[in-house]
Amino acid sequence: MEHLPILIPLPLLAASLVVPLAGLWAPRAVFPLSVAAIALSAAMSALALAEVVAEGEALRYTLGGWAPPIGIEYVVDHVSAFVAAVITSVALMVVVAARRAAAREAAGRRGLFYALVLLLLAGLTGMVVTGDLFNVFVFMEISSLAAYALVSLGGRAGMFAAYRYLILGTVGGSFYLLGVAFLYFTTGTLNIADTARLLAETEPNISVAVGAAFIFAGLGVKMALIPLHLWLPDAYTFAPSSVNSLIAPIMTKVGAYVMVRMFLSVFPEGYLTEEVPVSQALIALGLAGSVYGAYAAMGQRDLRRMLAYSSVSQLGLLAVGIGIATPLGLAAALLHVMNHALMKGALFLVAMSMRMGAGVSDVRMLAGVGRRMPVTSSVFAVGAVAMVGIPPTAGFFSKWYLSIAAIDEGLWFVLAVVLASSLLSAVYLFRVIERLYLAPAPVIAGGADDGSESDAAASAQDGGVRESPLDVTLPMALLALAAIVLGVLNVVVMERVLEPGL
């Protein structure tokens, strides 16, 4: 399977061309085609991950047979195979679960909707597998453009949020490009492996330092690092449910992945910690973000907005892990990429399911929903517990490794801030759980549906609140289950996948 690296983004890219045509002539084929493409890409990522772990070395693929550094090279190593597998499988679950919501929200334009979804994923997987700095920029802009268009489907508020997201996101992309320009004029190459080799040979100079600063500022916008997060809350709140449950778990994570890549493969070891204070900035901003995000989330009434601020908080922790920059710190950050993708995917799907089933996304209106939407509510409970970081869920272990990495470096205050942000998370998440399960229902209690009933089961006396159908609850439950199972199996992930790659 020498073609494995390119087979990760290619099915998505090819399907994004076919799906709009299918939308015109055979609208029924759109959804199966899209899911098949994502499933194929996920299978290829899993295969690549298995092969990299078995072989112990990276898979390299030269595009068009042009040998690097002249041609573009795709490199799948432990880290990129891991991230590709995580984002494609979470995306698969979310796209399957969001079928009904998408059918409603993109009525009549389903072909174009799924084409955008596939382009988004093609861009994200492309960013992960490529071994070329400029190629990262191109894929980043492909995925961002698709994301702007998807967010704009959320009515007029969504449109305005998308416009702001476009301006800020493009500035981020441009900053990245400007940073790459500085590196290119220093080294004369764009290939990541070649850049690393040449940067290790050059004396530290101002040009490389400015380049690093611009690259990280640009990536900071893409991963919503405070204070560059301003696009995120509105974009996640006003985007259609089918879109925010897809964008929230995976999009910012790929920005974080590119940051990890910069630390691992581009700049010489120690350069970003000692020569340029990128690490210190990431730790400081990450800690500020993790507390600010959790604090802002406490004050939100809208479930989706609360989850959006919670993302700002969790991404802050991710940035801290990257900023610590020891192998353990980076491993903790990457483990958190997976855990947060699973948890946020599940939680945003819960928000979608509640909007469909109960018709509300205001936290105060959720009283008593726990009994009527048992599966959705228990997924929320698992996701919330994992987000706070209670063992044995996945969220606990990434915070655990993060804390150990911080203590190893003597950064004791990191421990205090992580603890504080976890406690704040507990406040806003358990408030919702209390609403769901303990608060008295405002209307007469009705019987809980068994979860497999379709739309027909609505009855007047339970206020129309009913559990979502199985095709929504099953992927959601699988994500929540994965958050527990991968939490228990975190040692396997760490030892087999992350540690050999760092």
Can you give the binding site for other proteins, defined by CB under 8 A? 134, 137-138, 141, 145, 148-149, 152, 156-157, 159-160, 162-163, 166-167, 170-171, 173-174, 177-178, 181, 184-185, 188, 190
Rounded Cα–Cα distance for residues 189 and 187 (Å): 5
Q: How far is the CB of 174 from other proteins (least distance, A)?
A: 5
Nearer to other proteins, 238 or 380 (CB): 238
Q: How far is the CB of 467 from other proteins (least distance, A)?
A: 33
Q: How far is the CB of 247 from other proteins (least distance, A)?
A: 16
Cα first-last separation, the chain = 24
Residues 6+ apart with CB under 8 A from 467: 357, 372, 373, 374, 375, 376, 448, 449, 450, 451, 453, 473
Q: What is the dihedral of CA 487, 488, 489, 491, to 10 degrees?
A: 90
Q: How far is the CB of 280 from other proteins (least distance, A)?
A: 25
Q: How far is the CB of 147 from other proteins (least distance, A)?
A: 11
Q: How far is the CB of 172 from other proteins (least distance, A)?
A: 11
Q: What angle do CA 368, 101, 293 make, to 5 degrees?
A: 65
Closest CA to 222 of 243, 246, 251: 251
Nearer to other proteins, 189 or 425 (CB): 189
**3 state SS of 191:** strand
Nearer to other proteins, 157 or 438 (CB): 157
Nearer to other proteins, 165 or 396 (CB): 165
Nearer to other proteins, 138 or 284 (CB): 138
Residue 177 belongs to what H/E stretch? Answer: helix 155-187
Rounded Cα–Cα distance for residues 291 and 419 (Å): 10
Nearer to other proteins, 72 or 331 (CB): 72
Rounded Cα–Cα distance for residues 418 and 206 (Å): 34
Nearer to other proteins, 26 or 157 (CB): 157
Q: How far is the CB of 237 from other proteins (least distance, A)?
A: 12
Extract the tokens encoding 496: 């087999």
